[in-house]
């Protein structure tokens, strides 16, 4: 029933993911995997090549640094699609809006963001469960994070990943889910219990920022995008991402370009956030911030 598709660079992580899937998925499945070490291929190209080989009607594009809990989640996942013929894509983290601001899927606003997964960093773990308190277990969104993407094979055949414009490893998930959302329904499910094991909480460095700017330039005539004409606070999202990116390995030129693209120089209310964005990492203020926070906690 399900083809699990993985672009692998860490075989030991893949084996751990396989073991957890075998004990929990509960339906017929296959693994379609490419060892992408030293190939020079971007994730869109790899995913398209692997999906062409897949035999089953449902495809899961999956990161290898994950494990699953529970049992029979494959049946419950497929039931979403059998219940709603117009449902095209399901994930575990996403938003019901995508702003025009240069950012990922996350808005920082609980009215928009939907996620249901566990996040584990070295020495630290947390449950990231943000969904409305209802009896629903599938929530409509327009864009999804790529850690777990499940779609009908027919949907992938009509949409495919954009390997011409996206040659790296970022924004393939937003691009794919937004294009799917223009033709089908997209949802975030709570029926799958997944833990994402990550060493750094994600790579948002210079390469990410450059690909972010390229992506938003290509999508400039289609963003913002939302469900039911929901309002989007672009200024709030810009603040969220200024803060989120301040300690990333981003060159000063790319930082200035990000600020310029949003014309933040013209908005005095952003000056303090801009200053932090420019100097936080170069001056190693994270260490000072951590020191002061620990002293406050000790007292």
Arithmetic mean of pLDDT over the chain: 93
Q: Which residue among 231, 256, 285 closes a domain?
A: 231
* 21 shares its domain with 131: yes
Compute CA distances 235 → 45, 70, 187, 198, whole Å.
35, 40, 26, 29
Q: If you write DSSP's letter for every residue of 37-97 in order, what string do you get?
A: TTS---HHHHHHHHHHH--SSEEEEE-SSEEEESS-HHHHHHHHHHH-TTEEEEESEEESE
> Could you tell me which residue, 23 or 291, shows the higher pLDDT?
23
284 Cβ contact list (under 8 Å, min separation 6): none
> Could you tell me which residue, 203 or 256, shows the higher pLDDT?
256
Nearest to 219 by CA among 174, 184, 164: 174
pLDDT above 70: percentage of residues in the chain: 94
| Joined tokens for residue 285 | 């203020």
What pLDDT, in 10s, does the model give residues 125-181?
A: 888 899 988 889 999 999 999 999 999 999 999 999 999 999 999 999 999 999 999
Q: If you write DSSP's letter for every residue of 246-283 in order, what string do you get?
A: TTS---HHHHHHHHHHTTGGG-GGGHHHHHHHHHTTTT
Q: What is the count of structural domains for the chain?
A: 2
| Domain residue limits at 243 | 232-299
* 55 shares its domain with 80: yes
* 224 shares its domain with 239: no
Nearest to 73 by CA among 129, 23, 114, 120: 23
pLDDT at residue 276 tops 70: yes
Predicted TM-score (pTM) of the model is 0.93
């Amino acid at each position: 029933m399900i083809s699990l598709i993985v672009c692998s660079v860490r075989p030991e992580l893949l084996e751990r993911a396989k073991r957890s899937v075998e004990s929990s998925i509960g339906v017929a499945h296959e693994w379609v995997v490419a060892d992408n070490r030293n190939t020079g291929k971007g994730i869109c190209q790899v995913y398209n090549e692997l999906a062409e080989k897949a035999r089953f009607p449902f495809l899961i594009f999956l990161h290898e640094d994950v494990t699953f809990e529970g049992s029979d989640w494959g049946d419950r996942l497929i039931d979403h699609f059998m219940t709603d013929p117009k449902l095209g894509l399901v994930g575990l983290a996403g938003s019901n809006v995508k702003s025009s601001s240069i950012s990922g899927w996350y808005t920082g606003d609980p009215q928009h963001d939907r996620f249901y997964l566990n996040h584990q960093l070295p020495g630290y773990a947390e449950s990231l469960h943000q969904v409305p308190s209802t009896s629903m277990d599938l929530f409509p969104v327009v864009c999804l994070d790529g850690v777990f993407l499940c779609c009908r094979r027919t949907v992938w055949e009509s949409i495919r990943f954009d390997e011409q414009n996206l040659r790296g490893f970022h924004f393939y998930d937003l691009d794919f889910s937004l294009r799917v959302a223009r033709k089908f329904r997209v949802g975030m499910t709570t029926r799958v219990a997944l833990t994402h094991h990550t060493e750094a909480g994600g790579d948002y460095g210079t390469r990410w920022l450059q690909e972010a700017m390229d992506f938003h330039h290509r999508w400039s005539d289609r963003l913002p995008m939302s469900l039911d004409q929901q309002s989007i606070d672009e200024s709030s999202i810009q603040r969220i991402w200024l803060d989120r990116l301040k300690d990333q390995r981003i060159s000063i030129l790319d930082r200035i370009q990000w600020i310029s693209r949003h014309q933040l120089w013209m908005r005095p209310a952003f000056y303090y956030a801009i200053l932090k964005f420019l100097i936080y990492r170069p001056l190693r203020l994270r260490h000072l911030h951590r020191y002061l926070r620990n002293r406050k906690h000790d007292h």
